[in-house]
Structure 1
Amino acid sequence: MVTERLFENRAEMIAALQAECEAALRTAVEERGEATFMVSGGSTPEPLYKALSQVDLPWESVYVALVDERWVDFDHDKSNEAFTVKHLIQNKAAVANLVGMKNSAETAAQGLDDCESAYQQLAQPFDITILGMGSDGHTASLFPHAQGLADALTPDSGQLCAAIIAKQSEVTGAITERMTLTLAGLLRSKVLVLLITGDEKLAVLRAAQAGNDVSEMPIRAVLQQQQVPVVVYWAP
């Protein structure tokens, strides 16, 4: 179920993915009146979001929702919701409907029910989901050996969202409390796009493909499932 699209440079990769996103969102709105676009934070998808924000799409019928979030307020410099607003919910896409994960609860665990309720309102299956991958083999906020990981990786769970406490590392930084789509939530997508760049990330992908321990490299749970197509977009 994994297709690899390997590009010579990032500009070509972003252009190709932009076209795929446009087609998925436009088709969804035409067919059912609304589209669901699941997005991840980080520097790699930033140019994709900036480009999409300039595109003529029926954005008022597009629901943009986060794949994961640090349990921080919107004004925090590590907020994925704020990142998404800054780079995607701008220009022509300013009228899109943004669904965040962080709410007023003190902890992610306490905020889980409200987050789950909000996400259950989204049209399913999600039309396109953008994922990244860390050098530790995490995706979304499904971190190796994290507290809550085993439950979050249950593929037939009815839960879309999970509260996670990651083991602190160079990858997680100081903020280890997260909200994330579960594996079951990710599998509600029509297509999962894994967007990565550089030789290091390609090596991590190959290591993930070579093993089976999902608690060690949770991206394996996405790569090994047979329900939803996974398209890897990679450029140097």
Structure 2
Amino acid sequence: MVEEKFFSDRERLVQALAHDCARDLQKGIKERGQASFLVSGGSTPEPVYRELSKRPLPWSQINVALVDERWVEKTESGSNQAFIEKCLLQNCAAEAPFLGMKTAHASAVEGQADCERAYGELPNPFDVCVLGMGSDGHTASLFPHAAGLEAALDPNSAQLCSAITARQSEVTGVHTERMTLTLAGILQARDIKLLITGDEKLKVYREALLGSDELEMPVRSILKQGLKPVTVYWAP
């Protein structure tokens, strides 16, 4: 159930992914009067969000929510909330309701219950979930062999959100304490879009398809779940 959409350059990818997200969000609004749009941070999706922000969608009916977050304040470096506010919640999309993950609690573990309640109030099923993938095979904040990973990858979990402590690496940076959607939470989405760019990420993606150890490469849990369609967008 993995569809590949590969493009010759990133501009074509940006336009195609923005178009597909807009189409699927409008479908949700047509069916239920509102939609849920789950978004990841990172430099790769930034031009997609900037393009989407200019599109005259009924943004007041589109609930934007984070896929994952570093346990940092919005004013600190690395905040996905600040990133999304800067590149997506602008222009036409400025009126979209937004749900972040960082709470006032000192730790992600302490904030998990509040985060769970808030995400449980989003229009469900979620309409679109945009994921990225790291060179280590992580997606969302589901990092290889992280504390809390095994429970977060349970497809039958009742939890939408999970606190994760990653093993520090070049990929994680210093902020290893995270809140993330669980695999079960991601699978609440009707459409999962995995965005990757560059030859290195393509190699990692193909390695993920070949293997089966999800704790080693958690993105495998998305690619191999077989329950919801996954579309992979790639450009050099």
Q: Same fold (TM over 0.5)?
A: yes
Q: Distance in 2 between matches of 1:2 and 1:153?
A: 19
Q: Distance in 1 between matches of 2:62 and 2:191?
A: 16
Q: Distance in 1 between matches of 2:192 and 2:223?
A: 10
Q: Deviations over 1:130-186 (max 9, x none)?
A: 000000000000000000000000001110000000000000001000000000000
Gaps of 5+ in 2: none
Give the deviation of 1:4 after TM superposition.
0.5
Scaled by the length of structure 1, the TM-score of the pair is: 0.99
Structure 1 equivalent of residue 46 of structure 2: 46
Structure 1 equivalent of residue 187 of structure 2: 187
Counterpart amino acid of residue 37 in structure 1: F
Aligned ranges 1:129-140 → 2 under 5 Å: 129-140=129-140
Structure 2 equivalent of residue 231 of structure 1: 231
Counterpart amino acid of residue 20 in structure 1: D
Gaps of 5+ in 1: none
Q: Distance in 2 between matches of 1:25 and 1:207?
A: 31
Structure 2 equivalent of residue 120 of structure 1: 120
SS of corresponding position for 1:63:
strand
Aligned-pair identity in percent equals: 57
Aligned ranges 1:42-121 → 2 under 5 Å: 42-121=42-121
Q: Distance in 1 between matches of 2:27 and 2:224?
A: 28
Counterpart amino acid of residue 202 in structure 1: L
SS of corresponding position for 1:49:
helix
Structure 2 equivalent of residue 141 of structure 1: 141
Give the deviation of 1:27 after TM superposition.
1.4
Q: Distance in 2 between matches of 1:161 and 1:56?
A: 31
SS of corresponding position for 2:126:
coil
Give the deviation of 1:28 after TM superposition.
1.0
Q: Distance in 2 between matches of 1:29 and 1:221?
A: 29
SS of corresponding position for 1:143:
coil
Give the deviation of 1:25 after TM superposition.
1.0
Structure 1 equivalent of residue 218 of structure 2: 218
Pairing 1:37–2:37 present: yes
Scaled by the length of structure 2, the TM-score of the pair is: 0.99
